[in-house]
Each structure stands twice: as structure tokens, then as C-alpha cells.
Amino acid sequence: MSNTAVPLQPVQKGTLTRLCIGLALVAAAGAAIAWSGTGAVVAQAGTNADFLSWNKKQSGVVETASGLQYQVVKAGEGDSPTDADVALINYVGTLRDGKQFDKGERTPFPVTGVVPGFTEALKLMQKGGKYRIWLKPELAYGDKVPPGGPIPADALLTFDVELIDFIPMAVLQQMQMQQQMQMPGGPGGQ
């Protein structure tokens, strides 16, 4: 019985070093990808604080001093509403799990007639702007369950909001009075 020997060619100097470095880089990249995926899963399944901590590190997300988090989807132009204004908006409200609990199109809201975080977000926006906002429970309904709705206590809320326009509350009230005066059977109607 005979063994046939296959001669091995010598490798160039430094090839093994480059191979080891390449393997180490691939392993590090794999670990980074696994860790980032794990971070998102932990944030989604974890507490509201876990989610907000993870979310504020996402691209374009800004956190205010109150803890409101928002992302400008489309910048608006001009002035921002104040506490004395009524905002006309399109919006969709969802829970953390993505379940929609509210939606409105061309809906008028007094800027101060909504939960504190929503008021704060409206005052940051300009006409034509679209924002995604995240309200921690303290800026929404807290530990209270709002009447007649599917929002649980201590819920973190997400809203997609488009600010169509806004006008001062006094102007809206004046317009409503004029409209009532012109209606049949109204104070000024016949």
C-alpha cells in the first residue's frame, strides 16, 4: 500500500494574519447585528421606559425636556399654533402594539383641549407639517382609563399628526356666531 503525498504550496507571509483579522471582523459584525436586533425586541416587549430609551436613539427622534418624543416626517412652514388657537389636523392614534384607537380627518382641536403631550407637540408644528409623536403615560392619560375607549391605563401612545391649519379660538367663535345668525330659526334668521 502506498500513500501519495500532495505537496502544499507555501503561503505568502501575512496571509494567516489577514485571515484571522477577517474572521474577527466578521464575528464582530455578526455580534453587532444580533445585539441591535435584540435591542429592538427588548424595547418592543419591555416596559414603556425601555421602549422610550431605545426610541430616542433612533434616527430623527427628538426628546423634549418633558419627555415628549417626536420625529419630523415633513417640515411645515410659518408660525406654530399657541394656546389660544384651534388646530385643524389629520391624525391617527395607536397603542405601542400598533392597534389603532382613534383617527380623524380635518378635525378641529383647541390646542389646550387635548392631553398635555399632544398640546406640546401641536405647538412645535407649522402648517403643512407631519410629525410622529410618542407620548409617555404621564403626558397622555397616566394611570386613568379614558371613558369609552380602548386605551388601557399607563399606555404609551403614538400619533401620526398633520397640521393642516390653525386659527385663533376667538376668530372661530366669531365665525360660529355669524353662521348661527344666518341660519333659519337662529337669533338673526327668519
CATH number, domain of 150, equals: 3.10.50.40
CA distance 122 to 100: 20
In the chain, how long is the greatest CA-to-CA distance?
121
Instruction: Count how many domains the chain has.
Output: 1
What CA–CA distance (Å, rounded) separates 12 from 152?
66
In a domain, 100, yes or no: yes
Q: Is residue 125 part of a domain?
A: yes
Instruction: Give me the helix-helix angle, 48-55 and 15-45, nearest 10°.
Output: 130
Mean pLDDT taken over the chain:
86
93 falls within a domain: yes
Residue 58: band (very low, low, confident or very high) from pLDDT cuts 50, 70, 90:
very high
138: containing domain: 60-175
- Strands across the sheet with 69-74, in order? 61-63, 69-74, 130-135, 157-168, 85-95, 100-110
Asked if residue 26 lies in contact with residue 19, where contact means CB atoms within 8 angstroms, the answer is no
Q: Could you read off the pLDDT of 91-101 as tens digits, one per residue?
A: 999 999 899 99
pLDDT tier at 186, thresholds 50, 70, 90 = low
For residue 34, the model assigns a pLDDT of 61
How confident is the model at residue 37, as a pLDDT?
61
Is-above-0.75 flag for pTM?
no
Cell 367663535 belongs to which residue?
173
150 in a domain, yes or no? yes
Whether the per-residue pLDDT at 73 is higher than 60: the answer is: yes
Q: What is the tens place of the pLDDT at every residue in 25-55?
A: 777 777 666 656 666 666 667 899 999 999 9
| pLDDT tens, residue by residue, 121-173 | 999 999 999 999 999 999 999 988 877 778 999 999 999 999 999 999 888 77
**Which comes out higher in pLDDT, residue 6 or 152?**
152
